[in-house]
Structure 1
Amino acid sequence: MARKQTEPIAIISLRRLSMRIPEPQPQESKTFTVEDAVETIGFGRFHIALFLIMGSTGVVEAMEIMLLAVVSPVIRCEWQLENWQVALVTTMVFFGYMVSSILFGLLADRYGRWKILLISFVWGSYFSLLTSFAPSYIWFVFLRTMVGCGVSGHAQGLIIKTEFLPTKYRGYMLPLSQVFWLTGSLLVIGLASVVVPTIGWRWLIRVASIPGIILIVAFRFIPESARFNVSTGNTQAALATLESIAKMNRSFMPEGKLVEPILEKRGRFADLLDAKYLRTTLQIWVIWLGISFAYYGIILASAELLERDLVCGSKLKSKSTVVEAGGHLEETQSPCYCHMFAPSDYQTMIISTIGEIALNPLNMLGINFLGRRLTLSITMGCTALFFLLLNICTSSAGLTGFLFTLRALVAANFNTIYIYTAEVYPTTTRALGMGTSGSLCRIGAMVAPFISQVLMSASFLGALCLFSSVCAICAISAFTLPIETKGRALQQIK
């Protein structure tokens, strides 16, 4: 029997299909930090306004400090002061600066950079105006000390600039701030040459107070640091500030949500001396002290050199003055050296002051290509050398050239250390780090008058060797700093 052909059977296994729509997997939301926002927004019109307004704090600070150099010869004559009394004025100003600088830095890390900057300007302008009415030497010293307290808060302007600038622009824009210091120095010297001989030093101080009053009004156009706001948990204020900057710059914000950790522990001295920053902090303090000692030393020494011609040994220990007694003119010996600046002296001061910007292009190139540490080490070493060269007996033009070069070098030193200090510390201690450094550097500024205005009269070479030695020590400290901040993003936390 024939076999029945069987058809192949395809067995299909049916599975039960689910008609439910699969649940979407949750996607991680995008986030960004203030650093991301600052870099994304980039450089624009806001930063130009920031540079002009915050940079102008340097104009006011320079005018208040340089007043001491141009007013000293006048008050020496008016109140018959001796060398140590003239030096004490400068020392007390920097004493006020030293005491308040730490306090302002501490408060700025806790309550905001903008508020402290405003308070310091109101304080400084008020007491500066009062100084012009000082009835005696004691009152003059006290009121100028109060001015020093106010000026110490001006460093918050630099911190605000630093915290808003993108990384690649900090090495160029911050050194350019030296233009404002130069402007203030030249302005007060120019005003002194016109105002002092005509209507007196009191009116010079009143006129010099005007820029500070104008800036108090201009500060309303600059917001609080976004980095500070997020560190306190005020993310909405920081976001509003960043969005406003982006709009002003015609740029855009990063996508996502602004997220930063809330930093409850801010402005603590213990963080400055933490193991990570201890060596850096100590070396920074040494450098700040030495730079300040050299900077204010050369400013005050310039006035002494112009008054007494100490380089070639023709210093005058006393001066005969003519007084009227019983209707007769009598010649007496005064223990005070009384000599008013001549127009040529003001001209020499202006030329040497212009030197402060002469090295700016090279300084910027060094900062951005060689790095902060090596650049500072080189300029400090050159400063030490030129202090020794100042001992060479030369013509008036030669002396002017040496002073010009020294002012250029000490200004470059200040440029670099300001940038380095603002960059090396995290947001939680940035203002305190700047404040303590600025405070300790005033020790150098307090000592400088006694070297430039007292020791230099007794031993010119000894004073120059002391300045040179301090600069050499600072050059070594700068070279051995453990952290390089070139191209480094600003740290939010340590």
Structure 2
Amino acid sequence: MSNWGKTYNISYQQWRDPEISVVTFRGTAGDSLRHDEEDQCGDYEVYTTGMQTVDLEERRTGQDPIEDTFTVEDAVEAIGFGKFQWKLSILTGLSWMADAMEVMILSIISPQLHCEWMLPSWKVAMLTSVVFIGMMFSSTLWGNISDKYGRKVGLTMCMMWVLYYGFLSAFSPAYGWVMVLRGLVGFGIGGAPQSVTLYSEFLPRKSRATCIILIEIFWALGAVFEVLLAIWIMPTMGWRWLLGLSTAPLVVFVTFCFWLPESPRFDVLSGNRENAMKTLRLIAADNGKTMPLGKLIANKQEVRGRIRDLLTPQYRRTTLLLWFIWFANAFSYYGLVLLTTELFQAGDTCGVITQGAKTEPKCNLECKYLTLDDYKDLLWTTLAEFPGLFVTLFVIDRIGRKKSMAMCFLMFSVCILPLYACVGRVALTVFIFIARAFITGGFQVAYVYTPEVYPTATRALGIGTCSGMARGGALLTPFVAQVLLKKSVYLTLSVYCIFCLLATGASMLLPIETTGLGLQESSRITAGQEEMKTGQMSNGSEASTTHTSYGSSYNS
């Protein structure tokens, strides 16, 4: 028992025959992998207590043959990544692209409306905050809908909602109408993260992190496309045309959403085994692979999507830490997006006049339109999304999810520090570029980690509540990046720096490292699994609820 630090791959199968409690597995040399005495148990053996044991070879020679079975996880692993996942990537990616454009547009139309309608600073901040208010209150609702009625239902409904109210907001006659309609747009955008829930449940374990991060390229593409669209539209056609044309990705999504399949994991958990098998066969045919032989195991669970299930003893610490991490991430990310526009208009962090920037006397109704140089700088900092994605892609499977998140938060804080000095416009652009790359990477790791840590029964709700906390951070950040900035640049920068340092610590305190683990299904099953994982992290080896001790492959 001296080599528990080693990693052993133990294959297993769930037996439903009530006469069988433990199946004895044999190695290649025919030696048993189990032992009745714990002190005699070797490094390649499993110790069992208080259980009837049946030899696998003997059982197969009996009169009652055992039917082969497989789970959705087994089927997804066997089918692998192929043509089906590529098509799904594009369709779900369009929802991300639309989400990015609707958020990016806030930093573009705010200065325009500020000048056109002579709005005071607090009303300009409210234009941004009302969108995030809608997101915050709807994220949990869309998660609950997706857990109870299906991932496809939730995602399709919210995208149709955003399309309708997003296009309608282009015809807003006054400030009050813009507030109401953009708030309703935000209510729909709160369901966009459910595309990750749906997408992740079709991905094999080996490629899950890579695929989820790569689909975030659509977010970066959406942000870049919005800036390019603004450069083309704003000088000649105005903000109304920009709002209307920004719904283009949603039109494409709604047109092709009939193809979108329901998650077989959700179907199995809700008792629709036939639908799950039909979907899995279609995926296998599309990818040119064969399905596993046998019968699909269905672990039906009637109660799904309850918030209190996220706060049970095995998930409470994880949930609370994730809520803060998502809050800090969105608070810093959206804050930097808004801060970019404000700092570029000011010229530098100290308010000193620099080349290409002009200052005007300060007053409550002070107004300044975005110039072409402002749009170009905004485009350059938006392009930082791409290196952030690739850096995250490189480290996430090498150092793990927790350390990757902590690294991104820490590097963001480091990049904020030089802004305390009176840096010029070029240096300002460089540091904001790097900071945005890392805070973007932190967001992507959170989107990989969250669906991995929760079971299918609460996965959509878990992402929904985390997204709701993130929107809460995004709701508050305009008052820091746009209002507090007018009072003190240094205090504004300090707020973002402190939050990201705290998020660094929170990332390292997460109790579960999900790298290399399969997606969990029923929450009833995962309660024991969670205890087992926690014990493995703290002790290196720990008896599980079935009194089985084995070599840990879990990384703390």
Same fold (TM over 0.5): yes
Could you tell me which of 84, 88, 110 is aligned with 2:148? Answer: 110
Pairing 1:355-394 to 2, within 5 Å after superposition: 355-394=384-423
Q: Distance in 1 between matches of 2:514 and 2:366?
A: 48
What is the identity, as a one-letter code, of the residue corresponding to 2:201?
A: E
Higher-Rg member (1/2): 1
Match of 1:358, SS state, is helix
Q: Deviations over 1:107-140 (max 9, x none)?
A: 1100001011111011111111111111111110
Following TM superposition, by how much is the alpha carbon of 1:189 offset from its aligned partner in structure 2, in angstroms?
Answer: 0.6
Following TM superposition, by how much is the alpha carbon of 1:309 offset from its aligned partner in structure 2, in angstroms?
Answer: 2.3
Q: Distance in 2 between matches of 1:24 and 1:434?
A: 48
Aligned to 2:123: 85
For the 8 Å contact 2:346–2:358, the answer to whether it is kept is: no
Q: Distance in 1 between matches of 2:198 and 2:336?
A: 29
Aligned to 1:173: 211
What is the identity, as a one-letter code, of the residue corresponding to 1:396?
A: R
Following TM superposition, by how much is the alpha carbon of 1:318 offset from its aligned partner in structure 2, in angstroms?
Answer: 9.0
For the 8 Å contact 1:381–1:472, the answer to whether it is kept is: yes
Following TM superposition, by how much is the alpha carbon of 1:344 offset from its aligned partner in structure 2, in angstroms?
Answer: 1.1
Q: Distance in 2 between matches of 1:337 and 1:382?
A: 34
Following TM superposition, by how much is the alpha carbon of 1:310 offset from its aligned partner in structure 2, in angstroms?
Answer: 4.5
For the 8 Å contact 1:82–1:336, the answer to whether it is kept is: yes
Q: Distance in 1 between matches of 2:280 and 2:370?
A: 50
What is the identity, as a one-letter code, of the residue corresponding to 1:27?
A: P
Pairing 1:323-402 to 2, within 5 Å after superposition: 335-402=364-431
Residue 59, structure 1, aligned to residue 97, structure 2:
yes
Q: Distance in 1 between matches of 2:178 and 2:403?
A: 42
Following TM superposition, by how much is the alpha carbon of 1:92 offset from its aligned partner in structure 2, in angstroms?
Answer: 0.9
Following TM superposition, by how much is the alpha carbon of 1:393 offset from its aligned partner in structure 2, in angstroms?
Answer: 1.7
What is the identity, as a one-letter code, of the residue corresponding to 2:219?
A: W
Q: Distance in 1 between matches of 2:184 and 2:215?
A: 25
Unaligned stretches of 5+ residues in structure 1: 1-22, 321-332
Residue 406, structure 1, aligned to residue 435, structure 2:
yes
What is the identity, as a one-letter code, of the residue corresponding to 1:36?
A: D
What is the identity, as a one-letter code, of the residue corresponding to 2:255?
A: V
Following TM superposition, by how much is the alpha carbon of 1:385 offset from its aligned partner in structure 2, in angstroms?
Answer: 1.6
Aligned to 1:121: 159
Aligned to 2:454: 425
Q: Deviations over 1:271-306 (max 9, x none)?
A: 100000000000000000000000000000001011
Q: Distance in 1 between matches of 2:242 and 2:358?
A: 29
Q: Deviations over 1:164-195 (max 9, x none)?
A: 00000011111112211111001111111111
Could you tell me which of 512, 515, 521 is aligned with 1:486? Answer: 515
How many residue pairs end up in the alignment?
Answer: 460
What is the identity, as a one-letter code, of the residue corresponding to 2:232?
A: V
Q: Distance in 1 between matches of 2:233 and 2:366?
A: 22
What is the identity, as a one-letter code, of the residue corresponding to 1:148?
A: G
Pairing 1:91-490 to 2, within 5 Å after superposition: 91-314=129-352, 319=360, 335-490=364-519
Pairing 1:29-68 to 2, within 5 Å after superposition: 29-68=67-106
TM-score (norm 1): 0.91
TM-score (norm 2): 0.81
The alpha-carbon distance between structure 1 residues 283 and 24, as it changes in their structure 2 partners (threshold 3 A), is closer
What is the identity, as a one-letter code, of the residue corresponding to 2:482?
A: Q
Aligned to 2:536: none
Q: Deviations over 1:401-449 (max 9, x none)?
A: 0111111011001000111111100000000000011011111101100
What is the identity, as a one-letter code, of the residue corresponding to 2:286?
A: M
Following TM superposition, by how much is the alpha carbon of 1:347 offset from its aligned partner in structure 2, in angstroms?
Answer: 0.7
Match of 1:198, SS state, is coil
Aligned to 2:56: none
Unaligned stretches of 5+ residues in structure 2: 1-60, 524-556
Q: State the superposition RMSD in angstroms.
A: 1.6
Following TM superposition, by how much is the alpha carbon of 1:312 offset from its aligned partner in structure 2, in angstroms?
Answer: 2.7
Following TM superposition, by how much is the alpha carbon of 1:24 offset from its aligned partner in structure 2, in angstroms?
Answer: 7.5
Percent identity at matched positions? 38
Following TM superposition, by how much is the alpha carbon of 1:319 offset from its aligned partner in structure 2, in angstroms?
Answer: 4.8
